[in-house]
Amino acid sequence: MLRIPWTAKKTNERVLNEANKRRSLVRTTRKRQATFLGHVMRRGKLEYLVITGKFEGKRSRGRQREKIMDGLATWFGPGPPSKIGICGGT
């Protein structure tokens, strides 16, 4: 342990840097989203239509919700699904 007293007023980022640790929760969440997306894309039924946003009907009012595909594209960058690692199941 680093033995940092609570009165030191150090930020979490500074303590993590001193301990040479990185936050991995966001990375783990994105990886699990990508593997789930690969599972759904291979299945190809109703879940596929919902995730890609290609279902018929009226559009709801207000701001559009962010699709899972858009969120992963911004996280991993543009490219084919095999580049993201969705098709390989990794």
Inter-CA distances, 37 with 3, 16, 63, 71, Å = 42, 31, 23, 11
| 16 found inside a domain | no
| 47 found inside a domain | yes
Segment 12-36, tens digit of pLDDT: 888 888 888 887 887 888 888 888 8
| 49 found inside a domain | yes
Radius of gyration of the chain (CA): 19
What's the pLDDT score for residue 73? 75
| 59 found inside a domain | no
| 90 found inside a domain | yes
Number of other CB atoms surrounding residue 86 within 10 Å = 23
* Dist CA 52 CA 29 (whole Å): 19
**pLDDT > 60? residue 69:** yes
| 74 found inside a domain | yes
Averaged pLDDT, 6-14: 88
What's the pLDDT score for residue 53? 66
| 1 found inside a domain | no
User: Containing domain of residue 72, as a range?
Assistant: 21-54+64-90
What's the pLDDT score for residue 83? 47
How many domains are there within the chain? Answer: 1
| 8 found inside a domain | no
pTM: predicted TM-score of the whole model, two decimal places? 0.44
pLDDT > 90 in the chain, percent: 1
